[in-house]
Amino acid sequence: MESIQALNATDTIFQGSELLSCAYLNKGSAFTAEERDKFDLTGLLPSNVQTLDEQVKRAYAQYSSRHDNLAKNTFMTSLKEQNEVLYYKLIQEHLKEMFGIIYTPTEGEAISNYSSLFRRPEGCFLNVNESNKVERDMSQWGGSEDIDLIVVSDGEQILGIGDQGVGGILISIAKLAIYTLCAGIHPHRTLPVVLDCGTNNKDLLDDDLYLGLKQERVRGEKYDKFVDTFVKTARKQYPNAYIHFEDFGLPNARRILDKYTPEIACFNDDVQGTGCVTLAAIYAALKVAKLEMKDIRVLMYGSGTAGTGIADQVSDAIAVESDKSKEDAMKQIWCVDKPGLLLESMKDDLTPAQHPYARKDSEWENKKHDDLLEIVRVVKPHILIGTSTKPKAFTEEVIKEMAKHTDRPIIFPLSNPTKLHEADPKDLFKWTEGKALMATGSPFDPVEYNGTKYEVAECNNSTTFPGVGLGAILSRTKLMSPPLLVAATKALAAQAPALKDENAGLLPDVTNVREISVKIAAAVIKKAQEEKLAQEKHIPDNDEDLEQWIRAQMWNAEYRPLKKVEHGQATPKNPMASKGDPVWSGERWLGIAKSGATVRAACGSTKVLELFLTSAANTKYHNNNHTMKRKLNDQDVPEVADAVTTTTEEPTEKKAPTAKTFAELGLDARLLQAINKEKFAAPTPVQARAIPLALSGKDILARARTGSGKTAAYLLPILQSILHRKSTQPSSTKTTSALILVPTRELAGQVAKVALSFAAFCGQEVRIENLTRKEDDKVAHARLIEAPDVVIATPSRATSLVNASLLQLQDLSHLVIDEADLVLSYGHDEDLQNLSKVIPQAVQTVLMSATLRTEVDTLKGMFCKDPVLLELDQEEKEQTSLTQYVVQCGEDEKFLLIYAIFMLKLIKGKCIVFVSDIDRCYRLKLFLEQFGIKSCILNSELPVNSRLHVVDEFNRGVYDIIIASDDSEIVGNEEKSSRKRRKVEAVEEDDAEAAAVEGEATVPEETAAENDEEEKEEKTSEEKPKKKQKRSKLDKEFGVSRGIDFKNVACVLNFDLPTSSRSYTHRIGRTARAGKSGMALSFVVPKTLYRKHKPTTIPSAEHDEEVLAKITHQQEKKNQQVLPYHFDMKRLDGFRYRMSDALRSVTRIAIREARIREIRSELLKSEKLKRHFEENPTDLQHLRHDQESHAVRVQPHLKHVPEYLLPGNSAVAQGAGDGGFVGFGKSGENRIRKARMQNRMKGKGKGRKKSDPLKSLSAKRK
């Protein structure tokens, strides 16, 4: 049996000088005699063995001997590089004294001298000019479970001293040290980051020793893309990490926070931390002054990031305490900045955060809005807060004027560092005769006035943000929402010493900050549970146990015994982690990162690093999936636990023999019977690979082209799971087991139809409901009251049903998002965020998509945990039998060609014709009607039931031609607005394609590049200005080119070329499905022919050649060719006059009338006859969608093609016998044409007299 000491030992392979060089393991003179012998340290250390307390005593003496604060700061930095435990222990023993040395204000001086004092790098440096390397650079710090906290800065607004460029890394390091000291966050589970975007600090740019980018700061789109790349990479690499934004510049701090707060657990100390701690001080001051929050008037002097952040927190509190609106609460706050009091006339120069606080100019007529004394005289504030960094701004006149209007003036000069304070506390007590209630931004000694000693509270964010971060990490909250911050603020205010003694501080000081952090963390955790944001499952219920549980998670600065191991003998947990360390909740351990790369932060020797990596590479435990299980006692508090080895499969799918029949997949006999009925011969590649993984419970992210059988790949495992559960648990209660989310109603109908066909032999065992139709909640309630097993819905519909408490998801076990890359593009962002909060964490998730885009990565981070990636493109490329042709033609020649193609029956079978917009649908339909060519229209204006019926009739062969407006153009406005909200970027992000970290689904570089180019192209096309057009109300949940199962399509005809290669890919995916052959034919307008026929021109045709080049490039990557097809246009000359005659008939008025008539007709069919056709399905056969619209005059002779017009090789000509080809108007005289010309010439010529039009009129008698 191992001794207690051995049980708590830290395993390590280091010895001798290597061990002394590792700051995390080094004990210096505190190594025991036994350890010195065991680790070859004799001769390397003095003989006397000392305790940690003795080392602290000596280190404090050395610290005290430094002549100034900067020298003390430098000493502490050096100590940290040598012995981390001693560094933190020394500060803990002298926290209040040293706080201003390791943090503000002295740290600001160290940051400004970063390049000149530089000794060795610490932290992660990301270069804005190398954003493509962000993922690689961040992957060096460990696996997905190794980092709990990231502090990131761009160095633009450091501690009131401005732009410090790359020196901003030190503020990230300092903040993390505060997290460790004040909240017990383990120092090796954190990551400091600086975003080096250049600097506008001229002194740094001129400094030869400056270590950062020597260029002016990057702004605008490139900057935003870089920040977004960092955030998304951090979420991908370290999905549980809480992100702390620090000291970003005024134009960016609030904007970045607002962007990511709804998406991730993040925090900005300048905006939220300062606001929280200031509001806590205000709460305490109001209790002392006997004032109510609802009555206060606040004057904010300095309205930058911190000032507006404080104003927002205070206005929120006023609104809550008084039941006032947010707008009315803001009227109790007056904000002053460089131009003076913020007025509405300044709005063009104000930041978005300042706008709500701008006052009406009429209120300040004949008053000095730029004079603080005048403003105080007019406003009569109870509270004066300074964040201006303007020293001595609160003059004696100003303070005495304020004291005239309130008995206990509340004054907070908060600017940092000390030299920038708006007033000195001694002066404030003197000018108010000791009545001021005060808090400052930096520490001050107590002030004695008239024999009374007053404590000066420090509005120190360090009493707030560490506890907030600790609560966020332990609860694993999805978001840091405002209610969590309010809970933290109240928890801090409740500990104010002034509540017991009016002369004491308004806030607790940092001396007892770890206990303060425990209280704040407990409040945050409880509120996260109330808000259903907490993902940690093992949180104690009562307050006492919760606080004890939190304390057990906190790291302490103390030496741990060391145990020597040989190469390859390290414990599964970590070769450097202590067995005795308490573990984080949720089966995590409190040790340093598992991957050897992180040792760079702890060890100063390259040799040590190489030694460790060699050892790690030789041990089977160098795998990020091995974690330590948490043991709980009766009070649900973690106890010391041994490492437990768990084996999990790699998230990238391992090749295995694929099933050749459905029977080999082990499916239920009833499902096999249904599969046989549907005549499915063998599993497609995606089915053969995905079904076994789904049956084993894996999360899946599958990329496979349209028509590959993705629907069956996720439906069959779901149905199998439901049938198995009901056979093994026959008495189990009815629950909804599966939720299938799709972007469009058409796709929902298709999925429901397939699901019902697979469940055909299951009797009443499986209930399936499609909830996408528009119906009253009472109807939905009736359909959901018995909890159907499978629910199919769009995200918006599912959200509304959940909010109405009609759809219950607490027992959900399967979540499928089909066409995942379209779901976010269709504006379902908020709905998915809401659903993610109510869907159980243990649910199995399957994402199916034809492309891996940024949207897919967002969904993966939201719903999946280590999904297995299936790339089926390569396998399906080998099986495809799609031929692609392109025809170069003029804009009017498009109509000539399509007329000839359909009249001469050059395409055999069904055809989908894609056009650019809804008007083009009707123009083409009316044009073809002139020749007796019937077609039906599919667009978002039609009722959903009509659209579904169109697809169904087309699949049944009732008609052969559909004219569809592509969904990317139809929902363009909605899609673009959604993308603008998310600011989807392309090249540098690599969001969905380039994960290369263990534990993450990875995507081949070729695929990543392909999708990046498509996104870049789409973005370019979106940025081109377009004329504003009137749009009718469109159905957002409509889609044509994606998802809908058009069966047996022989040809996809791109009458109008799409605007991106991605859209082209999705269009042609309608044909050559399920192993069948197909053809894609596209009409392309060369630039030389653009706008040569204005009646038929469209703006997008101007860029056809550019889009074609991108399409060709993308298809070549897939080993596909886009071949030119040369029509002999001369042989079609005989058709031109008919084409021109028919085209002239299709006017704008005719198009509008046809549109209105069809919508009215379809609405009648859809609404009034819907129930009739449900009861009389045979009558549905008589409902046709390809009827003539009668919007234009139909000329019967155009419906027939004379034999003399037919080319000899046409289908019609061949059927009638080879009569040859007669080119119309090319040989011989044509009597009809000659007669027409003669009639046109009547009345023309020089010899004809002019006639009076009035005299030419004649009237006949009745």
Kindly give the pairing relationship between strand 190-196 and strand 149-153. parallel
* Alpha helix stretches (DSSP H) within 196-267: 202-205, 220-237, 250-260
d(CA 70, CA 417): 14
**Is residue 589 in a domain?**
no
Please give the pLDDT value at position 576: 31
The pLDDT confidence band at residue 376, using thresholds 50, 70 and 90, is: very high
Q: Is 235 in contact with 264 (CB distance < 8 Å)? A: yes
pLDDT single digits (tens) 701-729: 887 766 678 889 999 999 999 988 888 87
Q: Is the pLDDT of residue 1243 over 90?
A: no
Is residue 301 in a domain? yes
Contact 60, 94 (CB under 8 A): yes
| pLDDT on residue 548 | 93
Report the number of secondary-structure helices (H) and strands (E) in the chain: 49, 32
Residue 386 included in any domain? yes
Residues 468 and 456 in one domain: no
Q: Is the pLDDT of residue 31 over 50?
A: yes
Work out the average pLDDT over 123-130.
95
Q: Note the maximum CA span of the chain.
A: 139
Domain boundary among 237, 264, 291: 264
CA–CA distance, 256 with 152 (Å, rounded to integer): 12
- pLDDT at position 1155 is 82
Find all residues with CB under 8 Å of 968, minimum gap 6, and list them.
975, 1041, 1058, 1059, 1060, 1063, 1066
DSSP state of 1246: T
**CA torsion sign, 248 to 251 to 256 to 258?**
positive
CA dist 602 → 119, 568, 579, 598 (Å): 15, 21, 19, 7
Q: Which two tokens stand for residue 1033?
A: 């109300």
Q: Is the pLDDT of residue 180 over 60?
A: yes
893 & 800 share domain: no
Does residue 59 have a pLDDT over 90?
yes
Give me the pLDDT at residue 1002, please.
Answer: 40
pLDDT of residue 89: 95
Cβ contacts of 1058 within 8 Å, gap of 6 or more:
914, 966, 968, 969, 1064, 1067, 1107
- Asked if 400 and 467 sit in the same domain, the reply is no
- Please report the pLDDT score of residue 590 as a whole number: 30
The string of pLDDT tens digits covering residues 429-450 is 999 999 999 999 887 889 998 8
Q: Are residues 147 and 235 in the same domain?
A: yes
Mean pLDDT, the chain, integer: 78
Are 250 and 283 in the same domain? Answer: no
User: What was the pLDDT predicted at 872?
Assistant: 66
pLDDT of amino acid 234: 94
Quote the pLDDT of residue 622: 30
Which of 486-500, 581-595, 1207-1221 bottoms out in mean pLDDT, i.e. has the lowest? 581-595
The pLDDT of residue 575 is 31
Categorise residue 763: left if φ over 0, alpha if ψ from -120 to 50, beta otherwise: left
Q: Which two three-digit tokens encode residue 821?
A: 């890359």
Q: Round the CA-based radius of gyration of the chain to a whole number and report it.
A: 37
The phi, psi pair for 852, rounded to 5°, reads -105, 100
pLDDT score at 1181: 52
Taking the C-alpha atoms of residue 514 and residue 508, their distance in angstroms, rounded to an integer, is 11
* Domain that includes residue 929, residue range: 880-902+909-967+1034-1170
Please tell me the distance from the alpha carbon of residue 1167 to that of residue 1162, in angstroms, as a whole number.
8
pTM above 0.85, yes or no: no
The owner of tokens 């990317």 is: 968
Give the DSSP letter string of 475-533: HT-S---HHHHHHHHHHHHTT-GGGT-TTS-SS--GGGHHHHHHHHHHHHHHHHHHTT-
Element (H, E) at 179: helix 169-183
Same domain, 926 and 787: no
% pLDDT > 90, the chain: 37
Residue 703 to residue 711: CA distance in whole angstroms: 12
Res 873: pLDDT: 55
- Are 1101 and 1133 in a shared domain? yes
264, 282, 305 — which closes off a domain?
A: 264
In angstroms, the CA 29 to CA 54 distance is 10
- Which CATH number belongs to the domain containing residue 398 in this structure? 3.40.50.720
Distance between CA 752 and CA 749 in Å, rounded?
Answer: 5
- 946 shares a domain with 857: no
Does residue 641 have a pLDDT over 90? no
| 445-471: pLDDT as tens digits | 899 988 889 999 988 788 899 999 999
Q: Containing H/E element for 1216? A: helix 1211-1216
Rounded distance, CA 663 to CA 718, Å? 16
Q: What is the pLDDT of residue 268?
A: 93
Which helix H or strand E contains 1051, and what residues bound it? Answer: strand 1049-1054
Q: What is the pLDDT of residues 987-1004, one digit of tens each?
A: 333 333 333 333 334 444
pLDDT of residue 907: 85
Specify which of 516-525, 746-755, 903-912 reaches the highest per-range mean pLDDT: 516-525
Q: Are strands 814-817 and 738-741 parallel, antiparallel or unpaired?
A: parallel
Asked if residues 882 and 1074 have their Cβ atoms less than 8 Å apart, the reply is no
Domain of 756, CATH number, reads 3.40.50.300
pLDDT value, residue 1231: 62
Pick from 12, 54, 60, 4: nearest CA to 29:
54
SS (H, E, C) 600-627: HHHECCHHHHHHHHHHHHCCCCCCCCCC
Q: Which of 114-123, 640-649, 815-824 has the highest mean pLDDT?
A: 114-123
Q: What is the pLDDT of residue 579?
A: 31
Closest-CA residue to 963 (of 867, 886, 896, 1040): 1040
In angstroms, what CA-CA distances link 454 with 99, 414, 425? 21, 18, 10
* Positive/negative CA dihedral, 794, 799, 805, 810: positive
Indicate whether 22 belongs to any domain.
no
Do 335 and 391 sit in the same domain of this protein? yes
Look at residue 416 and tell me whether its pLDDT is greater than 60.
Answer: yes
Whether residue 1106 lies inside any domain: the answer is yes
Assess contact for 698 and 717: CB atoms under 8 A. Answer: no
pLDDT in tens, 298-328: 999 999 888 998 998 899 888 878 878 888 9
- At residue 1212, does pLDDT exceed 60? no
Of all helices (H) and strands (E), which one includes residue 300?
strand 298-301
User: Model confidence at 1052, in pLDDT bands (50, 70, 90)?
Assistant: very high
Structure tokens of 438? 């005060």
Distance CA 992, CA 649 (A): 21
In a domain, 186, yes or no: yes
Per-residue model confidence (pLDDT) at position 40 = 92
**What's the pLDDT tens digit per position in 144-166?**
888 999 999 999 988 668 899 99
Distance CA 1173, CA 1168 (A): 10
Residue where a domain stops, chosen among 233, 264, 295: 264
- Residue 170 φ/ψ region, left for φ over 0, alpha for ψ in the -120 to 50 degree band, beta for the rest: alpha
Label residue 594 by pLDDT band (50, 70, 90).
very low
Same structural domain, 1072 and 1087:
yes
Question: pLDDT grade, residue 1166 (50/70/90)?
Answer: low
**109 pLDDT band (50/70/90 cuts)?**
confident
| pLDDT at 386 exceeding the cut of 80 | yes
Q: Within a 13 Å sphere around the CA of 1252, how many CA atoms are in the beta-carbon half? A: 3
**Sign of the alpha-carbon dihedral angle for 784, 787, 792, 795:** positive
Please report, for residues 1218, 1234, 1240, 1242, 1255, the alpha-carbon distance to residue 1247 in angstroms, rounded to integers and kept in the order given: 50, 22, 16, 12, 20
Checking DSSP bridges between strand 1049-1054 and strand 910-915, what pairing results, if any? parallel
pLDDT per residue as tens digits for the range 900-933? 898 888 888 899 999 998 889 989 999 998 888 8
Residues 6+ apart with CB under 8 A from 494: 519
Instruction: Tell whether 836 and 895 lie within a shared domain.
Output: no
Check whether 636 has a pLDDT greater than 50.
Answer: no
Q: Predicted confidence band at 1233 (pLDDT cuts at 50, 70, 90)?
A: low
In a domain, 1184, yes or no: no
Given pLDDT bands bounded at 50, 70 and 90, which one contains residue 824? low
793 three-state secondary structure: strand
Long-range contacts of 346-355 (CB under 8 A, 24+ apart): 351/250, 351/251, 351/254, 351/308, 352/254, 352/255, 353/254, 353/305, 353/308, 353/309, 353/312, 354/303, 354/308
Q: 1137 and 1043 share a domain? A: yes
Range 1230-1250 average pLDDT? 60
pLDDT at 1020 over 50: no
Residue of 75, 78, 95 whose CA lies nearest to 183 = 95
What does the pLDDT average to over 732-752? 85
Does residue 1003 sit within a domain? no
523-532, 860-869, 1226-1235, range with greatest mean pLDDT: 523-532
Examine the pLDDT at 1152 and tell me if it is beyond 90.
no
- Domains contained in the chain, number: 6
Over residues 396-402, the mean pLDDT reads 94
pLDDT of residue 1162: 66
Q: What is the pLDDT of residue 664?
A: 84
% the chain with pLDDT above 70:
75
Query: How does pLDDT run across 71-98, given as a tens digit for each residue?
Result: 999 999 999 999 999 999 999 999 888 9
1209 falls in which pLDDT band (50, 70, 90)? low
User: Each residue of 233-274: pLDDT tens digit?
Assistant: 999 999 999 999 999 987 899 899 999 999 999 999 888 888
pLDDT interval class at 657 (50, 70, 90): low
- pLDDT recorded at residue 45: 94
